[in-house]
Structure 1
Amino acid sequence: MVALFQVEPYQGFFRDDSSLNGIRLHCPDGSFITSTVGLCIRNKISFLYDILVKERGDLDVEARKYISTLTVSNGGLWGKWGEKQLCQKGYAKGFSLKVQSMLGALGDATALNGIRLHCSDGSLITSSVGEDGTWSYEHSCFLGYLISFSLRVSPPQGIGDDTAANNIKFKCEDGRKLEGNGPAWGTYGAWSETCIMSGICGIQTKVERPQGLAALDRTELNDVKFFCCT
């Protein structure tokens, strides 16, 4: 890794000097990270860091900041958390689900396998997604954005077929509730906390990848977190 410093030269006795104004880190993969911006507050220098990522050949894109995380306590037990994904701008105004509601070839159903957020800037974001199922149409708020959720989950079934997360409901800013098209298996848990003065802007899902004996009873999507942005 290489570090480059942006420094303003001496401006003379009667002019204002700012000295160090920026730092850029060049990563081995060809991307670089920069920081902004320095502010002088009451004679103390304070740096506010906004992460900027530049992919090879792309324009600078300011990474999104989130202020809180929405979770529920009844998520499934299996799987690993995927990458966080955030709307580049705006908030999630709707969602669609990837669902396998019918039994597979070996009598194994996986139910809810993916959640896709429809952002107000026109982009679509997902985290980890299971292999099976098909995507639904968009369920969207009439006014405002998604601000809270509740997850429908089946508990472990022992020698029976485990499905873990089966469906999801969201609350919109206008008070309307939207329910997905997942199967009516299991029960809904308590609602998550609510985005305050903001909306849902990001997602992270926990998905079980089929391997070994687990491939005979797959659950795929088990749990999800959502993020509220400024």
Structure 2
Amino acid sequence: MKKSTIIITGLLVVLPLLPALAQNVRNDQVGVLEAPNATPWGSWTRAVYCPPDSWAAGYTIRVDVLSGPGDDTALNAVALYCRERNGHDVARISPHDGFWGSWREGANCPQGQFFTHFTLKVEPSRRNQDDTAANSVAFACSNGQRLEASGGGQWGSFGEWQGGFSDAAICGVRAKIEEPLGRGGDDTALNNLEFTWCRI
């Protein structure tokens, strides 16, 4: 299995890298929600899930930074860090690696806490001007702490918080991605995220 080396707040972590097509069976799902403020472009990937008995407790984002007069795409990809109850990080999952930009420093819940809510930062359609679509995503931990990874796009605003399932945390994700449009096209990359909650 491929390994992913990740630097999280000064710590070097090596986790199994689970590709988008590697589906983990989760029979403990309690709900699925997507961002209500998302832009409409692109198509959905397959969902990827944390291994059984683990839930999302940290994440990182891939962002295309401001490119001046060029085409900006902002948020390109999201990866979740899956953690067991004992605090062991067991996997990094991402439904799509994105096309442009670089991975930023991750953000994590305290030990024993997992993601229970999310909100997506989106720039609405600008019609004939440069569209960036999703710019960042933030999460709330089960203790109420809110996290936003560094380096998100600067455009748009966050929507309403999504979540609220009892005794559950985020365990899976899929993304709505617009494929590259080619020379002269207005690329947006990631447009929406849909998360799955599983029983804790």
Matched-pair contact (CA < 8 Å) for 2:61–2:77: yes
Secondary structure at the counterpart of residue 200 of structure 1: strand
Greater radius of gyration (CA): 1
Secondary structure at the counterpart of residue 162 of structure 2: coil
Match of 1:184 among 134, 150, 154: 154
What does the per-residue CA deviation read over 1:146-183, in whole Å, with 9 as the maximum and x for residues that have no partner?
11101110011122110000011100001100012312
Further displaced range: 122-131 or 145-154: 122-131
CA–CA separation in structure 2 for the residues paired with 1:174 and 1:92: 14
What is the Cα deviation at residue 212 of structure 1? Answer: 4.9
In the other structure, the counterpart of 1:148 is 117
Match of 2:163 among 193, 200, 206: 193
> What is the TM-score of this pair, normalised by structure 2?
0.79
CA–CA separation in structure 1 for the residues paired with 2:71 and 2:80: 27
In the other structure, the counterpart of 2:127 is 158
Equivalent positions of 1:57-206 (< 5 A) are 63-65=25-27, 66-89=29-52, 90-103=54-67, 107-120=70-83, 121-143=89-111, 144-180=113-149, 181-206=151-176
What is the Cα deviation at residue 195 of structure 1? Answer: 3.3
Matched-pair contact (CA < 8 Å) for 1:67–1:229: yes
Secondary structure at the counterpart of residue 122 of structure 1: strand
> What is the TM-score of this pair, normalised by structure 1?
0.69
What does the per-residue CA deviation read over 1:173-211, in whole Å, with 9 as the maximum and x for residues that have no partner?
011000123122111111112232021000000000013
Structure 2: give runs of 5+ residues left out of the alignment. Answer: 1-22, 84-88
Matched-pair contact (CA < 8 Å) for 1:87–1:125: yes
Using the aligned pairs only, state the percent identity: 35
Higher RCO (Cα < 8 Å, 6 or more apart): 2
Alpha carbons of structure 1 residues 171 and 62: separation in structure 2 relative to 1, 3 Å: closer
Letter aligned with residue 103 of structure 1: S
CA–CA separation in structure 1 for the residues paired with 2:114 and 2:76: 23
Secondary structure at the counterpart of residue 77 of structure 2: strand
Letter aligned with residue 114 of structure 1: A
Count matched residues.
Answer: 168
Secondary structure at the counterpart of residue 116 of structure 1: strand
Runs of at least 4 residues off by over 6 Å:
none
What is the Cα deviation at residue 72 of structure 1? Answer: 2.1
Alpha carbons of structure 1 residues 62 and 225: separation in structure 2 relative to 1, 3 Å: closer
